[in-house]
Structure 1
Amino acid sequence: MSAAGTAAIYSPMGASSRRRVITTPEGIALPVTVASRGARVGALILDFVIQFLALLIFTILMGWLFGGLMDVIEGMEDQVAGTAEFLIIIYLIFLFLMRYGYFLACELGPRGATPGKRITGIRVAARDGGRLTAEAVIARNLLRDIELFLPLVFLLEAPGGAMGNAGFAGLAWFLLFMAFPFFNKDALRAGDVIAGTWVVEAPRGKLAETLSTQGAASGTSSLTGAQYEFGEAELSVYGEHELQTLERVLRDGTEESIIAVHETICRKIGWEPGAGDERAFLEAFYAQLRARLEGGMRFGKRKRDKFS
């Protein structure tokens, strides 16, 4: 989906306080659930544990490698110094990648989530309903230094008085950033506000068994008897991401969202949208698109979304 435009966001009446509906730039209304603050904290702790273990293993490996090289070049002082400097550079590069590259690489991936977020069942998403851009991921993660790492420095240094009054003032300022998610209903970090992102509960990675669309794959509407058959060119415009979106709409969407999605798909594939048989049309399109994508996967061909 395009990232252009602004999404309308509201809470459906009678739903959980964390339930939201976003209207994408293409006019599709999608239900989402904002991740709880506890899930976000748990994901962050898990990611830090993963980073710590990776750093520990890499440190042990570097120590073993340095010891082995010392045995080889014993007595050659110039080579010893050069080897030590080289290994230190490698170690510093690894530290940099763990601090910045870990979150960036994971959240720029197709799942938009670090391993910690995957375990807790949450992911990063664009608040406008569009695609998660590299700029947004970079912005939200660069602010982590201000929101988290600098506060840790102040928490360690300020109470001892070594930094004077400036240390306590800085500590109070950065604690405000750490408490920011508790000041808004969507649990947004300052980085989320800047980047236009939020963290939501991730939809199921695998589709459940086919929806109640018996007969839909054949394209026959049980309501009107109309035939819905879609050609290769019409089914090729969408991929797995859009299929999952359509599944959520058919499962949880309102009548208004079903009508909006029906009109959007008709415009996309060049059909004239009718009225009164929208669900039958979407069920037929869903069933035939799913069959096409699963057939392609059996031959090692995947279409992750409409852009691929």
Structure 2
Amino acid sequence: MASKTVYSDDSRLNELISDYKISDIAKIVGRNVLLGHADDEGIRLNNGRAGSALAPDLIRAEFKKLTPGRADFPQIADVGNLTYQGTLAERQNQALETVKSVYLNNHRLLALGGGHDHAFSDVGGFLESFSKKKPIVINLDAHLDLRPLIKSPTSGTPFYQLIERYRPFDFYEIGIQQHSSSLAHLDYAKTNKVKVYTFLQSHGHLRTIFNGLIKLAKNRPVFLSLDIDAFSSAYAPGASAASPIGLDPNEFLKIMPQVASKLNIQGLGIYEVSPPLDVDSKTSKLAAIFMHSFLLHAKK
């Protein structure tokens, strides 16, 4: 499934997506594997607004409408939405094994949530697969998502879970809104050497931040997690925890050519889009554009 030249006068990305079963991951020839987490139980358990279970399919639909942007835009193998039985914690661990199989077969992961609790599976599989290569995790988010795990995972616990299981690893949180971050969680981040860039430190300064990360990372593997609530509700009204302040997607898209081509990004996850809360599918479209821009410029 190597990249192929796009010939038609008005090609759309649906021409470059092939459907596979989860069981076919080992048979896929190509770089990019897309999967969805059509589940928002973690958001509901965190007392959030449900709806992101619908996001993977709607983001896919918007993505397929986009034009490639270059003749050799990479093909994508779509293995569908993961479906497992059991508690949320059990499903997280089952999904983590699937993610590891993506990396075992030398693919790059494109993951669509669903709640941010699914970052535990996506990032955990990444950390286990690249444990000997000093992996780096970057999270753009309004929230730290470092809530302690008490009874069950939630959309607020993924990075606490990851730190507790896999520390130490280099972890950067960008766009964090201080009015939505408890002092206890900030202290936990500091204790565990998480580098936190607040919203005020991030807005208007993404290029500087990512320039520093590029110098640091060199060719180390990176997982880039995008919680859509990192971006202002002016652009992302359909976020589970939308906020009137937030990052500007135009600023992020402006640096995407540099981010995607110079960082060794092995996994991209986009989470917490909530279509029932959206306006004219604006947020699903934004998520699709982020994925398009990443693939347009990413290392092959």
Q: TM-score, normalised by structure 2?
A: 0.21
Higher strand share: 2
* Larger radius of gyration between Structure 1 and Structure 2: 1
Higher helix share: 1
Q: TM-score, normalised by structure 1?
A: 0.21
